[in-house]
A = this chain, B = another copy of it.
Amino acid sequence: MDDERKISLGEGAGGELMQRMLKELVIPLVRNADIEYDPAALPPGLLDDSAAVDDVAFTIDGHTVWPLEFPGGDIGSLSVYGTVNDLWVVGAIPRALALSMIIEEGLDRSLLRRISSSIGSASSSAGVVIATGDTKVVERGGVKGMIISTAGIGLKHPLLDGNHRRASFLRSGSGAEAPVSHWLRDDGVRKGDVIILSGSVGDHGISLLSFREGYGFDTELVSDLAPLGEVIEAALRVGGVIAAKDLTRGGLANGLNEWCGKSGYSIHVSGPDIPVKPAVASACDMLGLDPYEIGNEGKVILAVAPGSEEEILEAVKRTSTGKDAAIIGHVGARGRNVILETEVGGKRIMDPPYGDPVPRIC
């Protein structure tokens, strides 16, 4: 039986339990109200993927993936792409990363060397410098192999201005009631916005789970780990992007529910339009998992102003990681739920994941 006085595993899973725990035990306590905030356009209180401080976007992620190397990546590339993606999705250009490595005594030197090289290549390909770092080695059993926490800073993307102008123009035509925020904000989605998903969901979590547990579902399935810059830039260049969110822990269900919860608008998505690879679908069937709740590391949802969706979709499809992009739904009337239209024409509420079916995948 769970001891209610103790933190449970599910409270770290990025789902509803974690939101509750953070709201009870962390966020109101660490926030210091006596410091005056700039009325910045992306304030900490939003709990967006990054916050902006004086126009510098700032984010951090702790990476506890196990095993440290997996099909399609390792903790090094994960800690780079995981963090740059959190900057891209608010509309920032990643500029520099800071790495905190906590290493377990006894880690293979050759493994550390491979992970460092992977950090080097990933940061080159993402266009960021590793500006600073810190290393601790702890006794055996103090951590499992290695943990990397990565912070990133980024600057407002120059394409945001044009994007914002087009989004405002399209919004005013559609009669949406709210002004468009300059940064890409979770709470910015409004009725009529169209939702584009950049590719198939569940690849990262299922490939990692299968590799770790030796299920051998499909040896072809690898993590989708990738930087999202190309997709986001393609969309911003067209203009009209309202919000973007990378689908990590908690997957598509978590991302859509965060938009819904923060904006106060319902979201409608169509199951048959959501790309899921057959290997992922059959693994989920066998394990009783929901592919929409599985974490990804190279997929993003875009909410775009009505009228821009076709052009943005085409632009995203021309990128290397967005070939399978699809329009999966739209933002509906004020409401508190994400509604999923199923293959057979039924409807169900797509709840945010409660805990996490697959721990240690990021």
Contacts and interface: CB of A to CB of B under 8 A. Distances in A.
Interface stretch (A6-14, A262-270, A277-285, A332-340): A6-14
A50 interface: yes
Interface residues of A, number: 83
Contacts of A142: 64, 143-144
Contacts of A6: 105-109
Interface in A4-42: 4-13, 18, 21-22, 25-26, 29-32, 34-35, 37
Q: DSSP majority for the A interface?
A: mixed
Interface stretch (A51-59, A213-221, A252-260, A286-294): A51-59
Contacts of A158: none
Nearest to A121: B32
A59 B98 contact: yes
Contacts of A343: none
B64 A31 contact: no
A138 B25 contact: no
Q: How many copies does the complex hold?
A: 2
Contacts of A130: 30-32, 44
A53 B7 contact: no
A346 B133 CA distance: 38
B127 A26 contact: no
Contacts of A21: 135
Nearest to A133: B60
21 contacts: A5-B108, A6-B106, A10-B137, A12-B135, A25-B116, A26-B101, A29-B113, A29-B119, A44-B130, A44-B132, A53-B96, A58-B153, A60-B100, A60-B133, A60-B134, A62-B135, A64-B136, A100-B149, A102-B149, A143-B143, A149-B151
Most buried by B among A3, A103, A137, A139: A137
B105 A137 contact: no
A158 to B, nearest CB: 14
A131 interface: yes
Contact of A147 (B4, B37, B147): B147
Contact of A30 (B44, B61, B119): B119
A155 B96 contact: no
Contacts of A51: 96, 131-132
A123 interface: yes
Contact of A100 (B100, B131, B143): B100
Given A58-B98, A112-B25, A103 B149 contact: no
B96 A58 contact: yes
Interface in A142-197: 142-144, 147, 149, 151, 153, 155
Nearest to A151: B151
